[in-house]
Each structure stands twice: as C-alpha cells, then as structure tokens.
Amino acid sequence: MATSLIISEKGYIVTTVPKAKELRPFVEKVITLARRAKNLSGDQAKAQEVHLRRQAARFFHAGNSTFKAEQSRFRGAKGTTKEPIERTAGVKAVQMLFDELGTRYKDRNGGYTRIIKLGRRQGDNAEMAVIELVDNPRELAAKK
C-alpha cells in the first residue's frame, strides 16, 4: 500500500480506516529518509544518500531476480537470451520518493500524510478513508 500511495499520480488512495492508520507510520518514515537525503551536504553526501536509499528500499518490494528466458522455459519455449525484467513499482517508488517527494517536503518537519474519513462502505459496513500526501500538486493548484 505504501508503494501505491507513493507512485499514485493523484496523491491519494482509498482504503479502510485501520489500514490507513497502519500505513501512515511507514510512509512518514520513508519520506523522512528522503527529506534527510535532500538536506545532506559535505564530502560524504553521496555515500550517505545511497545509505538512506537502501534504508528506504526496505519498505518496498525489491523486485524479481529472475529473467524472462528462465520463466519462458517452463512454458516450453527454448530461449537462451536473458533479458532483465522491467523495474517493479517498488523501485519506481523509491526513485519518486527521493527525486520528487524529498524536495517537496525538504522544509517540512513531519505530518506528510492526511487521513480523511469517508463513511461506511455499503456491503460490509467497513469504515472507509482516504490517505493522501499533503501539499500534493492537486491541492496546490486548488489554492492558486
């Protein structure tokens, strides 16, 4: 869910209230890591940024280590070339986190997410909520 929230173009996802409350600390921690990476300076800044990226990658799916040719072998195809599989959403989330969100929240000390309760879902009566990133582009455009 953290991956979905980070890479969503809208800047929010709709889920149940308990899931949103459970998701919030994870997203807050990784955004803090990205923010710290943007505030680095000095001769060890690049090494420290790599360290922070690796710490943030713990919260996302790392990706598959298999290749297309190895997977096609099980379907009867005889491929000998090994082409790497595309980057997963987790890798894209880490990139977006450090490239965009780190700079967006560079001067913010916390409170990167907001939970808005929507009411109850028809069917199972679960309480629904929107968890969104504050200061998202949609919100900034509405202020202007």
**Strand-pair partners of 129:** 15, 117
Count of beta carbons in the 10 Å neighbourhood of residue 42 = 7
* Mean predicted lDDT score pLDDT of the chain: 84
| All structural domains of the chain | 2-143 (3.90.1030.10)
pLDDT tens digits along 9-37: 888 999 999 999 999 999 999 999 999 99
Q: Side by side, which strands form the sheet with 127-133?
A: 12-16, 127-133, 113-120
Say if residue 125's pLDDT is above 90: yes
The Cα 131–Cα 2 span in angstroms is 10
**Strand-pair partners of 14:** 130
46-55, 58-67, 89-98: which has the minimum mean pLDDT?
Answer: 58-67
More confident residue, 1 or 24: 24
Q: Please compute the mean of the pLDDT values over residues 36-45 and round it to a whole number.
A: 87
More confident residue, 106 or 69: 106
Say if residue 129's pLDDT is above 50: yes
Q: Please compute the mean of the pLDDT values over residues 132-136 and round it to a whole number.
A: 90
pLDDT tens digits along 76-104: 555 555 555 455 778 888 999 999 999 99
